[in-house]
Structure 1
């Protein structure tokens, strides 16, 4: 019985783990560097994180930030990107798809995207883990 309980607690996923790197970034959402962040559904790529960060504007006061490494295989050579339709995020290597809230909508991935904390103070967006 004890063996059954222990084995049921194991992670059934064989996916590699995304390395946890310190993130402490900030950006001015009104900057000319990030024109897409001036509209809902807009996005920007940042170099911080393990493979980078995707910042997505949900509304004028709500921004989400996600790791660009796919939870299915973070060791592949690809970085997640917003699809040309601007409706979802995709991993061009494995084909996994995620909505703009970071949840899986297709592909081999079964875990949501790693999300970073965001805090908007005036026009400065702070991103951390």
Structure 2
């Protein structure tokens, strides 16, 4: 009886956890862009985030962080991702905003900074070389 109770308790614990991690669907990404040609050349000079269409669920956002490293996120909002609502840069230039729900996300790490979103944007690995930026998962 104790073993059965323990197994049920463990099962409930494992399967009752709320949504965690990425909620935006995972799709294969393999984008390579030249750093010093459009649209990425603006990033090397501290310019605004750049949007790349045709990749991910709703396109890519590539951003050069305050520390000087490149970050890449899917533009698909993590709030109701089935709507495929693409985030845009807000008026401050420091956050991304979901025009469908009003959710805001930090450019530095993709985390939600304004409800109703509770999950971060899907982030991708960025490999930087002297002349290129490659985004993949």
Give the direction of change, closer, same or farther, for the CA distance of 1:4–1:60 in structure 2 (3 Å limit): closer
Quote how far apart the aligned CAs of 1:13 are. Answer: 3.2
- SS of the residue aligned with 1:56? strand
Alpha carbons 2:31, 2:134 under 8 Å: kept: yes
Q: Distance in 2 between matches of 1:35 and 1:84?
A: 22
- SS of the residue aligned with 1:55? strand
Give the direction of change, closer, same or farther, for the CA distance of 1:120–1:41 in structure 2 (3 Å limit): same
Give the direction of change, closer, same or farther, for the CA distance of 1:78–1:120 in structure 2 (3 Å limit): same
Alpha carbons 2:35, 2:132 under 8 Å: kept: yes
Aligned match of 2:50:
44
- SS of the residue aligned with 1:6? helix
RMSD after superposition: 2.3
Structure 1: which 5+ runs fail to align? none
Structure 2: which 5+ runs fail to align? 1-5
Aligned match of 2:125:
117
Quote how far apart the aligned CAs of 1:73 are. Answer: 1.1
How many pairs are equivalent?
Answer: 128
Select between 98-107 and 34-43 the one with higher mean Cα deviation.
34-43
Aligned match of 2:77:
70
Larger Rg: 2
1:1-129 pair list within 5 angstroms: 1-10=6-15, 11-13=17-19, 17-40=23-46, 42-47=48-53, 48-58=55-65, 61-100=68-107, 101-129=109-137
- Tell me which protein shows more helix as a share of its residues: 2
TM-score normalised over the length of structure 2 = 0.81
TM-superposition CA deviations, 1:41-83 (whole Å, max 9, x none): 6210012111111000115851000011112211115201111
